[in-house]
Structures are given as C-alpha cells and as structure tokens.
Structure 1
C-alpha cells in the first residue's frame, strides 16, 4: 500500500518526521519493521527526513506501531496535556473568585507558557482571559487591555460567549480608565455584530448588555441603561451560566436605583448575593455588599450603609483589589460625612488619592475631590472647596460622565454665587446645563437593535 503525500515545507525540530525517527530508535525498530505491512522502508526514510507530510491514515498506523496516541505523534504533545491544562485553568479561576488575585495571576502566567509551548490555542486564550481579569482586579488597566486584546484573535472560532468575555474585559478596562464613550462603542459594536450574524446566544448577549449598563449610567444615558437592563432580564431565563445571571441582577440594581426603586434594587442584589454565595465567588459577593451599601445610603439608612461598605472594602482590600477598594472607599467616605464623621471621611479620601494613581480611575478620583470639596464647604473653607471642585471637573470633562459633570457644575456654581461672583456662577450653571441637556444622545450613536428572541 502507498500513502498519498504532499511535498513538505522546511520545518524545525519537533516535526512529525523527527518524532517518528526518535520513537523508532527508542523502540529498537528498523524502518522496515515500522513500515510493514502497510508501507515501505523507503517511505519511512523520506518521512523521517521531512520530505513528505504523512496522511492521517499513515499517522494512525505509525502511532499504533510506536505505542503512542495519534494526537501525541501528530502534535508532539504529551497525552491528555490539554485536559490537564483545562483542569488547572479551572483551579486558577477558583483562586480569583476567592479573591486570591496574585496567586491566580501566577497560575495563569504559568498555564499561558504551557499552552504556548504545546500550541494549545484554546487554553492559551483562556489563560489570557484569566490574566486580563486578574489585571482588572489589581487595577492594572493597561495590562488588562493588553491581555484581552491578545485573546480576541485566538477566539475567532470560539463560542460567542467566549468572544464576548474578551470584549467585555476590554470595555471594563476602558470604563475604569474614564473612557466611557469607547467602552460603550466596544459593547454596542459586539452586540450589533452578534445580532447581524444571527448568533442568537443569550449568554453572550446578557454579558454584553449587562456590561453596558455602567457606562450608560455614568454618561447619563438612563433610558438606554434601562433598555439594556430590560433586554438582559428578558434573556435571563435562557442563560445557562448562573454566574452571568447573578452579575445581571447585581448590575440591573443600578438601573432600579436610578429610577428610585430602592426596594426592588435591594431584592435584585439579594438574588445576586445568594447565587454568589452558592457559587463561592467571593470577589463578586464583595461587589454585592458594595451595592447594598449604596442602596442603604440612598434610602437614608446610613449606619447599615457604613457596615455594608466596610465589609465590601475589607473583602476587596484583602485580595489587593486596589482600584475597586478605592471606589468603595469613595462611597464609604460619603456615608461617613453624612453621619457627621467628617474628619474620618477626609482622612480616608486623602489616603485614597495618595494611593490611586492618576491614570487609574479618573471618575473615582473626581468623586473623591468632589467629596473633599463638600467637606471643605462644611468647614467654611471656600477656597479649598473651589480648588477641589475644579480638580474634579478637570478629571471628569474628558470622560463624558454627564450626570457627574452637571452635579459638579451645580455645586461649583452655588459656591461662586454665595461668594458674590454672579457672572462666574452663571457661566458654570450654563456649562452644567450643557452637560445635562442631552446626556448620552449626542455622544452615542443609535442603540443596538433588540434581539428577536428576548421572551422566555
């Protein structure tokens, strides 16, 4: 019998031919003994010299004679290496879920090197996604974007939800960096791409719509945020991943709060927390405590808010989630100020600004300066208050956070008016009105088309 072959291109060590030669010699076989009865010694000779590329049938014959698996002979990978790596990737994800960011990142780096060494593209992509999540957790936004961008081309043929995870990761990194418009653009483009391709994947769409809620709200596009929440809720009964459902409930609570529906928001957070407890995802459970603290603060239950926010802060700080810890501390400082614990709030904010690097979290640095401005006004230090409001405005203006910008302009305008600077106050109010007039409509394009299968 002869084998159908094609001329082989020059190849490096580790080719099929060289693997066949090494294994044959190790087993003490001649070329004739390896070849018979299906092939000839001459064929084995030219195969071992990499002058032909063997067919699948030839590889299966040779693998059986050499006592190895077809995959091992064809790829050079040890048996079951991919299965072992996938199990270790699950372990690394569990470390991150428990808030062990640094050990998780170390595990993902090792697994990425292993996947690259063995040419396992799916496992390489999974390791990059994990490293991106670890970098987000640590607040290293540049590294996070790099990992997610590197994963995307590897996921070209992967299920939609895997591709959506990479896009979501990039979008969150841009959001935390204050690039709200680009965050929305990434998510909306991915949603439109799925719908245009007819890829009716509820998991992927819920992931993307849920991720879009935060930048929509920060930009003041409340109607679009509410629409995204409604679509995500409609898709939820078809979602197979309970962690996605939990994340949706946690994020949808923000839209309910924006509409003043605090009881419904609290109920949504309770559902999310129950799922996270069941799944033992400590990092996301910390976010639920954070959001419940915010709900209590909106409802005027300040002592309960302080307890929830302190719990969230401590959980995130234990895992060295620097950026998220700072975000929670801004909310906690606001509650402490409202409780009359102004000195404690001010010290917390000053420490926060010292830790939070200028290129990370400009929206949250601005929120800290806003609160320091309010504290300065409480202490009758108008000059310090105006300085902090000015810094907050400078941080927010490039982000497009329309609601926060309008609020800051109101605070600064009120201060200027009380100081007798009427013309300056009028200019500031006009600027604020410009931000509040059409939030999220002049900066964003048309909303993504609603998928045709949102009913359960």
Structure 2
C-alpha cells in the first residue's frame, strides 16, 4: 500500500502553536498544567505542533490560563498596534459615561498608536466626537467630526466621509437646524451608496434617521417606505438595535394615524429586538422611547416593564445624565396605573437628578409630572405652583410646544378652581404658542 500522507498544516496554525508553546514555557507551565480541567495533554501537544484547529472558546480559555492575551497568541508583532488601538477605542466608549479621566487616558494612548495609520486616526476622531456627545459637549463633538471629515478627504478615506457627515447631521438636528441637518444627511446617504456601505450598521442608522426626518416633516408614505426598508435590512443582518428603532418609527406613524393594533404589533417587535441587544447608551434611549410609546398606546404593564429595564441598562453603562428622563416617564406610567405613591417617589428622584445636572427642560417636565400626581391626590395648590414653575422654565428654555401644553393644563386647572382671570391668561398663552408649534412640527 502507498504511504498515507497527512495534509500540511497552514503557516498561521504552526505560528499559533509556537506562540502557545513559547507563552507556556515563559510562565513555567507544563502541557498538563494548561490542559486542566477540560482539555488533554495530547490535545495541547497537537496544538503546539500545529496539527489541530482550536475553537475560539478554546483560544480564549488558553489565553487566560497562559496569563496572555488572544491578540498576542494570534497576531504578528506589526499587527498589534492596530488591534490594541481598536480595543482601546472600544474601552474608551464603554467608560465615557462614568469615567471621563480614564476615557481621556485611553484616547491619549490611541493617539500615540495611530500616528502612522491614517484610518486609525480617522476612527479616533470619530470616537472623540461620539464620546463628546455622550458627555454633553456638542461643540467639541462638532469640532471632532469636522476634523474627521477633513482628515478623511485629505487622505482619501472615502468610507469615513459619510460616517462623519451623518454624525454632523445628528448634531444639526439636535440644534433644531432641520435644513442643515437634512443637507448633511442626504450627502452622507449619497456617499454611503457610492462607497457601497449603505447596508453597514452606520449606513442603516443614517437611513433610519432620514426616515424619521420624513416622518417629522409629515411625508408619511415616504417615511414608512424608508423605515420598512431599514427594518428589512436590519433583520437580514441581525442589527437588532436598528431593527428596534425602525419599528419604533413605524409605531409612531401608526399611532398618529389611529392604527392602534398595528402600532402595538410594531412596538412588540421592537421589544423583542431590544431583548436581544447588548447594553449600550443607544439601547437605553431606545428602551425609554419604547416605554413612552407603549404608554401612549395604553400598554401600561409593558411600558412599566420596559422602563424598568431601561433604568437597569443605564445603571450598568453609567448613563446618569439621561436617567432623569427615564424615571420621569416611569412616573407618568405609574400615575396612569393609579400607583401614586410610587409615581411621586420616582418623579422626585427624577427632579433631583435634573437639578443636579442643571437640566432645566427635564426639571420642568418633572414638575409637570409631579403636578399630575398632586392633582390625582387633590392637592390643588401644589399642582398650580408646580405647573407655574414648569411654564416659566419652558419659556426660559424656549420650548414652545411644551410652554403651550403646560400653560393649557394650568389654565384648565385654574378655571376648574374658579380663578378665571389667571386661567384666561394661561389659556391665551397656550393659544399664542399654537402657530409656532405648528411651524416647528409641520
């Protein structure tokens, strides 16, 4: 019989085996030492000689037992700076909400590692901007995204250009600059298409934002088509966060059209998608929006459950800045459920957080919620005082729609209590805001 020849091991597998053997010897371990408790000495021997393929979980386990890292076992030395820089950027994003000093140190290290890599430099600039957004520094974010765009154009890094533009569009929308935001977003979408990255996570996110913009501008049919397209793409690619957000947009459209059952179906799809999504600031925001829309749809038990999960996610990722809004929404749900003591407790906690972070708009919203609790408890004077303060805060922060809503609520309460003169003033204020409100939302 002819001699049976074994297949030749690939070079990378032999190198991996050599690195495992070297790491084991540096640590003074035997093959038996690192095999225990769930591997065998013969398997380690085959692995070190490049004659067997380990699973990912086995490599992770071995890296831990060898007191090494997965990158050191798998990569060549020239590849380590890139791998290290990308890992540090991910760590910086994770630490940004709760530990600014640590985040700055991580970014400084990436700065050094990315000196000779143009694409890493672009990624660093985008990450700096994202972190500035999370930390409530929109001007710094705008500067970082502008720098990323300029760097990408200078170095012909075309896939980075739409990523920077879409972020700049988000900042414009946050400043209520709809025209500037739309122009940037449409440019970003055109570049996502030209670079064939529209179906990437960031491309889908930009298209989702465009669908939401169309919905705000009452271009409902187009918005619905775009959101359905995003939902289908996200489902195919298992982008659960984007799928959930697209379903939230569809639910808003259904609610506005009075299609309650269709809205609830979309909201339940969003809930299922978010259940499979890893913790992040974006997930916490999505859950809060889902809770609010479930509340609006009358699904109070689901709204309560979702908002509780949103709070848990915020605690795990260190998102203190947005927690007041979630607690306030939870308090509103509890009011409708008739759980007034719990509602008052959550609303007071939300108010304290809003005051701590000097968020006047959220403080005003919390005061409106506390006024709802006070009305339900027949504490009329307290409700009037809280609504009066809320109206003044909304006026100071130029929240036209919320001035109108709070003034209308206060006017009706004063009218019911017999104070017709004061009621007339506030109802007139509410009516006066209507043209501006329609202009802002039209």
Question: Do these two structures clear the TM 0.5 threshold for a shared fold by scoring above it?
Answer: yes
Partner residue of 1:231? 226
Q: Which of 122, 126, 130 matches 1:129?
A: 126
Q: Are the counterparts in 1 of residues 354 and 360 from structure 2 also a CA contact under 8 Å?
A: no
Match of 2:181 among 177, 181, 187: 187
1:225 deviation in Å?
Answer: 7.3
Q: How many residues align?
A: 354
The 1:397/1:257 distance shift into structure 2, 3 A limit, reads farther
> Per the alignment, in what secondary structure is the counterpart of residue 420 of structure 1?
coil
Matched, 1:92 2:91: yes
Counterpart for residue 427 of structure 1: 425
Task: Calculate the TM-score normalised by the size of structure 2.
Answer: 0.64
Change (3 A) 1:281 1:274: farther
Equivalent of residue 106 in structure 2, options 95, 106, 110? 110
Indicate the residue corresponding to 1:321 in structure 2.
319
Output the CA distance in 1 between the equivalents of 2:330 and 2:131: 24
| Aligned residues of 2:96 and 2:135 also touching (Cα < 8 A) | no
- Map 1:17-166; keep pairs closer than 5 Å: 79-80=78-79, 83-85=82-84, 87-88=86-87, 91-92=90-91, 96=94, 101-102=97-98, 106=102, 109-116=105-112, 118-137=115-134, 147-148=144-145, 150-156=147-153, 157-159=157-159, 160-166=161-167
Instruction: State the Cα distance separating 1:409 from its structure 2 match.
Output: 1.9
Identify the match of residue 342 of structure 2 among 331, 344, 348: 344
Q: Which has the higher contact order (CA 8 A, sep 6+)?
A: 1
Q: How far does residue 398 in structure 1 lie from its aligned partner after superposition?
A: 5.7
Q: What CA distance in whole angstroms lies between the structure 2 residues aligned with 1:164 and 1:435?
A: 34
Provide the C-alpha distance between the structure 2 equivalents of 1:89 and 1:251, rounded to a whole number of angstroms.
Answer: 34
> Is the Cα contact below 8 Å between 1:111 and 1:127 reproduced in 2?
yes
The residue aligned with 2:374 is: 376
What do residues 8-61 of structure 1 show as CA deviations (whole Å, max 9, x unaligned)? xxxxxxxxxxxxxxxxxxxxxxxxxxxxxxxxxxxxxxxxxxxxxxxxxxxxxx
Q: CA deviation at 1:213?
A: 7.3
CA RMSD of aligned residues (A): 4.1
Gaps of 5+ in 2: 1-76
CA contact (8 A) 1:293 1:304 kept: yes
Return closer, same or farther for 1:143/1:278 CA change in 2, 3 Å cut-off.
Answer: same
**Partner of 2:296 in structure 1?**
298
Instruction: Kindly state the Cα deviation for residue 387 of structure 1 after the two structures are TM-superposed.
Output: 2.6
Residue 362 of structure 1, CA deviation = 4.0
- CA positional deviation for 1:332: 0.6
Distance (whole Å) between structure 2 residues aligned to residue 369 and residue 378 of structure 1 = 14
Moved more, 82-91 or 376-385: 82-91
Q: What is the 5 A alignment of 1:227-306?
A: 228=223, 230-234=225-229, 237=232, 242=239, 243-278=241-276, 280-306=278-304
* Alpha-carbon distance, 1:131 to partner: 4.2
Deviations 1:124-169 (A, max 9, x none): 3323433444454455666655654554433445424412442255
